[in-house]
Amino acid sequence: MVKIVVDMMGGDNGAKPTIAAVSKFIKDHDDVSIIAVGDEKVLEPLKDKVKIIPSTTVAPMECSVMQAMRDKESSVYKAVNACLSEDADAVLSAGSTGAFLSLCTLIIKKIDGVDRPALITQFPTKVKGKYCVLLDVGASSENSPSELAQFAKIGEAYYQAFYEKKDPNVYLICNGTEEGKGNTLSKETYALLKNEKNFKGYMEARDVLSGSADVVVFDGFTGNVFLKGSEGMAKMMGGLMKEAFTSSFRSKLGYLFARKGMKGMLETMNYKRVGGALLVGVNKVAVKAHGNADEESFYGSLNVAYTSAKKQTVKKIKENLKL
């Protein structure tokens, strides 16, 4: 049985999408136990389906570390704390990123030897069924070369656990592929990774979604910009294609012949299916859902937490860091 603690209240859209997603996830999985944290009255529809831990406040999105630690009645604080006290496998929140990441680091604590935890996410590529993983995508805004080198090992272990590939290839993001390219950070990181077995060198941003990479390492600022830019592009392309195929009778007729292929393409581009990002480097599975998560996106985040726990990603990351 996989036990997941869920902060039901922290997202921009309140508890409505989280209640719907949790209800559906429980129905679809008979080996999961959910502990829901939030306003008891609001969570009334779940009272016979999950264990409820009441909370009285919601941490604001701009919450500081000190504020997050002081407000012990907030749903995100109680959720992270319950992950330890209830001996849960995972914790999930769509609330304040800063509060959630700080609380996970301070309460659940970092894995021994980890310099700084990172947010890792799966991303679709143009190769059907192939995902690459990106880290860091926003846990921090600045990183050192040693932290990026460690991200490479963490990402490698995550890919091995999640996709069961023995030797995933690892790339470092850069503005060119030649060894001498990049800024000081990328050059110094390259030097640290150069002799690693699975390190394949630099990769440009335009090739990240080509399907050739398994793991791509970013500093947190660059990774977050890439992630949001890619999501925005996917959303725009989906909207443009919908508009194109509904603009006239002839285009609607053309869609009848192309809809199977279009449906598959739109599903590949739909970032909501992946859900949230996993905070790697802490002692439990911790998943940060999108702040504006709807039911589909939050369900995807639940699946990230569930699958990561089932595949023992935390244990395998610990093992890889000892090598």
- CA separation for the pair 234, 222 (Å, rounded): 18
The amino acid at 257 = F
Over residues 102-114, the mean pLDDT reads 93
CB distance 245 to 200 below 8 Å: no
Check whether 261 has a pLDDT greater than 60.
no
pLDDT value at residue 253: 58
Q: Which of 28-37, 112-121, 268-277, 294-303 has the lowest average pLDDT?
A: 268-277
Q: Comparing C-alpha atoms, which of 90, 102, 103, 108 is closest to residue 6?
A: 90
pLDDT value at residue 75: 92
pLDDT value at residue 274: 61
pLDDT band at 187; cut points 50, 70, 90: very high
Check whether 254 has a pLDDT greater than 60.
no
- Maximum Cα–Cα distance across the chain: 62
Q: Which of 91-100, 250-259, 264-273 has the lowest average pLDDT?
A: 264-273
Q: Which of 80-84, 128-132, 237-241 has the lowest average pLDDT?
A: 237-241
Question: What's the Cα-to-Cα distance from 164 to each of 161, 186, 312, rounded to whole Å?
Answer: 5, 28, 12
Over residues 200-213, the mean pLDDT reads 91
CATH code for the part of the protein at 115-272: 3.40.718.10
- CA separation for the pair 249, 199 (Å, rounded): 51
User: How many CB atoms lie under 10 A from the CB of residue 98?
Assistant: 17
CB distance 186 to 216 below 8 Å: no
Compare 274 and 71 and report the one with higher pLDDT.
Answer: 71
Check whether 269 has a pLDDT greater than 70.
no
Strand segments, DSSP code E, in 28-179 are 32-38, 51-54, 90-93, 118-124, 131-135, 170-173
Check whether 164 has a pLDDT greater than 90.
no
CATH 3.40.718.10 domain locations along the chain: 1-114+281-323, 115-272
Check whether 216 has a pLDDT greater than 80.
yes
* Percent of the residues in the chain that have a pLDDT greater than 90, as a whole number: 51
pLDDT value at residue 64: 83
| CATH class of this structure's domain 1-114+281-323 | alpha beta
Sequence-ordered list of residues with C-beta below 8 angstroms from that of 186, at least 6 positions apart, any chain:
172, 173, 174, 202
Over residues 138-147, the mean pLDDT reads 90
> What does the block give as tokens for 128?
């059907």
